[in-house]
Amino acid sequence: MLLVNPLARPDGLRRFGVTVTKRIGNAVARNRMKRRLRALAREILPAQGIAGADHVLIGRENGIERNFALLRQELEAALSRVAAGKGDPPRRPSTKGKPKGRGK
């Protein structure tokens, strides 16, 4: 089965974006996480990325301390799941308590 993304770029370029939330840490920690994610994207996406797709890498907690080789393996596994048409496995619920509400 071939999945065609109607929003895919006709020129086949593989673009990427990186985002890291403030919950990760201070600016130094967030920038380090972004540098690591950009390095992974530049290394892996040209060969294994989805042609014509926009890839968004989201920095999660513990990503700074995580082994770079492990991050590489996880990104490669995620890209292979996407190429196979499978979704991401569910994430574990947060153990930090209730999310903070807005207002009042």
User: Each residue of 36-80: pLDDT tens digit?
Assistant: 999 999 999 888 888 888 888 899 888 888 899 999 999 999 889
CA atoms within 13 A on the CB side of 4: 2
Confirm if 41 and 14 have CB atoms less than 8 A apart: no
How high is the pLDDT of residue 1? Answer: 37
pLDDT bracket for residue 102 (50, 70, 90): low
Instruction: Determine, yes or no, domain membership for 39.
Output: yes
Instruction: Determine, yes or no, domain membership for 91.
Output: no
How high is the pLDDT of residue 12? Answer: 65
Q: Is the pLDDT of residue 92 over 80?
A: no
Q: Is the pLDDT of residue 89 over 90?
A: no
Instruction: Determine, yes or no, domain membership for 90.
Output: no
Distance between CA atoms of residues 99 and 96, nearest Å: 8
Torsion angle defined by CA atoms of residues 32, 34, 36 and 42, in that order, rounded to the nearest 10 degrees: -150
- Residue 22 DSSP code: G
Q: Check the CA dihedral 50-56-61-65 and report its sign.
A: positive
Instruction: Determine, yes or no, domain membership for 22.
Output: yes
pTM strictly above 0.75: no
